[in-house]
Structure formats: C-alpha cells, structure tokens
Amino acid sequence: YYDFINIDDNRLAVVVGDVSGHGVSAALLMATARAFVMLRTSMPGSAASIINDVNKHLSLDTYDTGNFMTFFYCELKELSREISWVRAGHDPAILYDPDSDEFDELKGRGLAMGLDYSFEYEQSRRVLGLGQIILIGTDGIWEACSPGGEMFGKRRFQGVIRDYAKENASNILSAVYDKLDHFTRGLKSEDDITLVIAKVQN
C-alpha cells in the first residue's frame, strides 16, 4: 500500500505499508488502514498523533486475527523543506545526499500497527537539503532474487540510486525497476515490490 495525501497547501503526507499475509484478508486490512489514514489526516494533529489514532482503530479490527501492517508515514513541508516521520515496524526510509555521497536511514522506534492498542509512536524530524532523495520501499526490492538465488541487496539498490541521482524522481524509479527486472530475468518475486521516491528540487 502506498499513497500521497495533500494535507494542506504546504504539507504532503507520503505513506507506504506492507500487510501481513496475502489474499482477501490482507486486502481488507489494507483498505481499512487506508480509510483510517485518509480520515485522520483530514483532522489536526502531529504525525505521531495520526499514527497513534490509526493504530488504536486498526488494533480493534486485528485483535482476533493476529494480522498486522508495517507502516512508514511521513509529512513533507514544502516551504521549510522539513520532513516529519513515524516508523511502525517498517524498514527505515533511506535518505541519499548526492553532495556528500552518503546514505542515511530514517529510523524510529515503533511496532507494526495492529499489534498493540496502547503503543505510543514516536515522531522524528529533520530538515532536508537541496537535491536530497528520500526512498521508502518494501523489502521485496532488496530481497528479490536472480534465477541463481542471489539477492538484489541494499548495496546494489544504493548503487542504482547513486548512478541516477541527477535524474528526477520518476526516472530514478524507472531505473530501479529496470535494474530489478534485468537482475531477476523476469523471475516473479515472492514478495510485493513497492517503492516511493521523493526528491528535493533545486
């Protein structure tokens, strides 16, 4: 699950989630989570308060099923170039700075949503630099395998980002999927592959 939600003229929410399991039950959980997020972001509150409220409602639905959903939620502010995020059991987002050629992870303490009704999520914040690239993905990307069983891996993934860092977000995304397809020789992935890329424009 991924989505872009315009909260107001200055704030854009970007969300990526990965639901446990497959099939109808997973699809229903994803749809429920999306509805909760859409509703909650229409009301005032910090990123942490939004995810706290969504988790409480989602936990009521998953209490008897054992299902859960990893989630990465962030808000981008255009005027201040600030990012605020909450990590709920999901792989950290990756931040690449082409000027320093350094990769960093947007970490944070947080369980997957739907596991603990009372869990209080933490919000992190930082200011972004011009040209920096944010990558929010699911582990199906770096765990994708070649026909010989070799994993694509995060180092190879980072190499693609480095090589195409001067391109816009759409072209970087296309390059990642092209490299993945070439690496796997079209072999069907055992896991979902979802990637969102945002780039701070000069």
Q: Which residue(s) pair with 19 in the sheet?
A: 69
Contact (CB, 8 A) for 132 and 199:
yes
The whole-angstrom separation of Cα 48 and Cα 170 is 29
Q: How confident is the model at residue 202 (pLDDT cuts 50, 70, 90)?
A: low
Q: What is the mean pLDDT of residues 52-70?
A: 90
> Which pLDDT score, from 0 to 100, does residue 23 have?
82
The whole-angstrom separation of Cα 50 and Cα 59 is 14
In this predicted model, what pLDDT tens digit does every residue of 37-59 receive, in sequence order? Answer: 999 999 999 999 999 999 999 99
Residue 4: pLDDT over 90: yes
**Between 108 and 191, the higher pLDDT residue:** 108
The lowest-confidence range among 88-92, 97-101, 190-194 is 190-194
Residue 190: pLDDT over 80: no
The whole-angstrom separation of Cα 102 and Cα 98 is 7
In terms of average pLDDT, the best of 18-27, 169-178, 180-189 is 169-178
Q: Is the dihedral angle over the CA atoms 101, 140, 83, 131 positive or is it negative?
A: positive
Contact (CB, 8 A) for 109 and 166:
no
Helix, strand, coil percent values for the chain (each to nearest 5): 30, 30, 40
